[in-house]
Amino acid sequence: MAKLLTNRDDNYAQWYNDLVTKADLAENSVVRGCMVIKPYGYAIWEKMQAQLDKMFKATGHVNAYFPIFIPKSFLSKEAKHVEGFAKECAVVTHYRLKKDEKSDGVVIDPEAKLEEELIVRPTSETIIWNSYKNWIQSYRDLPILINQWANVVRWEMRTRLFLRTSEFLWQEGHTAHASREEAIQETEKMIDIYSDFAENYMALPVIKGYKSENERFAGAINTYSIEALMQDGKSLQAGTSHFLGQNFAKAFDVQFTDKNGKLDYVWATSWGVSTRMIGALIMAHSDNNGLILPPKLAPVQVVIIPISKNTQQASEISEVAVKIKDDLISKGISVRYDDRENNTPGWKFTNYEFKGVPVRLAIGPRDLQNKTVEIARRDTLAKETIPVQDVTTHVIKLLDDIQANIYNKALNFRNDNTWYINSWEEFTDIIENRGGFIMAHWDGTVETEEKIKQETKATISCIPIDSKEEEGKCIYSGKPSKRRVLFARSY
């Protein structure tokens, strides 16, 4: 199976596509630009969803659901918002089909034209703030801390499974607050949650920062993001949190009476991550042998494979394997005991390695005799033999070690591919020949940012929150700069 995988160093894009499809994560749909998320890929999303949902609720957020259809007039109420999404909108114009007498097929019924066209949800700020208008009258109604798990549609011309599709799954938080300070605190709190999730569950080191004016979410005052470095040297935006100010409240006339009896507009935030995180997980960790999944997000953390020559051996091995399985499950570890007879043990070894199962246990006749188990770890492919009675304790520790090792490997890669440079010559050389994160001075103007993008296809991924003030000169214009920003070619 691994031989069917394009070498990562020869063609990274094809390696990624091969891995997504051959590991049974997803496939392209007959609907152009859309994907079918297969059970194994969806199981990873479910693990992500469950953990994030737990983190959201721990900070006071609740889930709700809003319509997938948005009246077209809603988008036009916030000028920058409609400008940002206009080219990606799918529009519903009719509500009925009828039989075509000539072809015996179906056609749109021209008499079933909608009075107002509907936009298939590209994001939900407008439809949600229309509801908030009815929910908020007083400061006593605030804050509103709502999250929605949903699908969205953004009509993409060039797509890639998980990374960019016309329809994708995500969560979107939409909160309403009585003060600017409270809304900013919410925005920062959520980017911290995303960072925590990425680093401690995805084993993905990220840089937190805020976007340049040119890269902000349409309709936001400020956008925070987490940026991760993929193994091909490109940056991937893994999550965003937006301080929306009072823009949407003003667009939908959402006002409240404060504690002093004064009428004011509500302050807003929105924030979200999507199935794009699965793409990040694949590209940041996997290798030419297949997927490498961090144990905390692996659908199956441990697989047990029996090796027997006859029915008697199979029965005795199964007794040992089932006990190990039950012990591990009692500790909260997800385990699969694969005793199917229609595939060889060798095929199973390759299959589970390819699918990124963190730990593989093998029990054969010699292990049965010696009361041992062979343990293989996916991240390093190292094997060892240990006594049966030590398996549960060893596996618990091993899963933690694998999680930490995957993170540290990604962190070392990022550190080794982060460049602090001071000249345009260095910048272009690294972008063209090495890739990675570039920390460089920028004069703060949209014009310079656009010219750098046009000449190198590199953008400002973010302005890191922990970037210290430092006198310097813009690498492109030579104008004064007080802080380095993070440049990279991005997905």
Residue 69, domain CATH: 3.30.930.10
- Considering the domain architecture, whether residues 212 and 318 belong to the same structural domain is answered as no
User: Of 349, 369, 401, which residue constitutes the final position of a domain?
Assistant: 401
Rounded percentage of the chain residues whose pLDDT exceeds 70: 99
For residue 451, being part of any structural domain is answered with yes
For residue 358, being part of any structural domain is answered with yes
User: Of 347, 375, 401, which residue constitutes the final position of a domain?
Assistant: 401
Question: Which positions ≥6 away from 101 have C-beta within 8 Å?
Answer: none
Counted domains in the chain: 3
For residue 234, being part of any structural domain is answered with yes
Q: Name the residue range of residue 381's domain.
A: 300-401
For residue 410, being part of any structural domain is answered with no
Query: How much is the pLDDT for 383?
Result: 98
- Considering the domain architecture, whether residues 153 and 189 belong to the same structural domain is answered as yes
Which residues on adjacent β-strands are paired with residue 175?
145, 269
Q: For 94-119, write each residue's pLDDT tens digit.
A: 999 999 888 878 999 999 999 999 99
Has residue 1 got a pLDDT over 60?
no
Q: For 34-71, write each residue's pLDDT tens digit.
A: 999 999 999 999 999 999 999 999 999 999 999 999 99
For residue 335, being part of any structural domain is answered with yes
For residue 101, being part of any structural domain is answered with no
For residue 172, being part of any structural domain is answered with yes
User: Of 401, 430, 459, which residue constitutes the final position of a domain?
Assistant: 401
Quickly list DSSP for 263-326.
EEEPEEEEEEEETHHHHHHHHHH-BTTB----GGG-S-SEEEEE--SSHHHHHHHHHHHHHHHH
- Considering the domain architecture, whether residues 354 and 451 belong to the same structural domain is answered as no
Separation of alpha carbons 236 and 275, rounded Å = 13
Place of tokens 């993070």: 486
- Considering the domain architecture, whether residues 54 and 145 belong to the same structural domain is answered as yes
**Strand order in 90-94's β-sheet?**
69-71, 113-120, 90-94
For residue 104, being part of any structural domain is answered with no
Instruction: Assign residue 420 a region (left: φ > 0; alpha: ψ between -120 and 50; beta: otherwise).
Output: beta
- Considering the domain architecture, whether residues 17 and 150 belong to the same structural domain is answered as yes
- Considering the domain architecture, whether residues 430 and 386 belong to the same structural domain is answered as no
Separation of alpha carbons 266 and 245, rounded Å = 8
- Considering the domain architecture, whether residues 274 and 346 belong to the same structural domain is answered as no
- Considering the domain architecture, whether residues 163 and 265 belong to the same structural domain is answered as yes
CATH number at residue 435: 3.30.110.30
Which residues on adjacent β-strands are paired with residue 269?
175, 243
- Residue 433 CB burial class (10 angstroms; 0-12, 13-18, ≥19): exposed
Separation of alpha carbons 40 and 54, rounded Å = 22
Q: For 219-228, write each residue's pLDDT tens digit.
A: 899 999 999 9
CATH number at residue 315: 3.40.50.800
- Considering the domain architecture, whether residues 334 and 262 belong to the same structural domain is answered as no
Separation of alpha carbons 253 and 132, rounded Å = 10
- Considering the domain architecture, whether residues 324 and 442 belong to the same structural domain is answered as no
Whether the CB-CB separation of 436 and 418 falls below 8 Å is answered with yes
Q: pTM for the whole thing?
A: 0.95
- Considering the domain architecture, whether residues 390 and 266 belong to the same structural domain is answered as no
Query: How much is the pLDDT for 27?
Result: 97
Separation of alpha carbons 308 and 122, rounded Å = 54
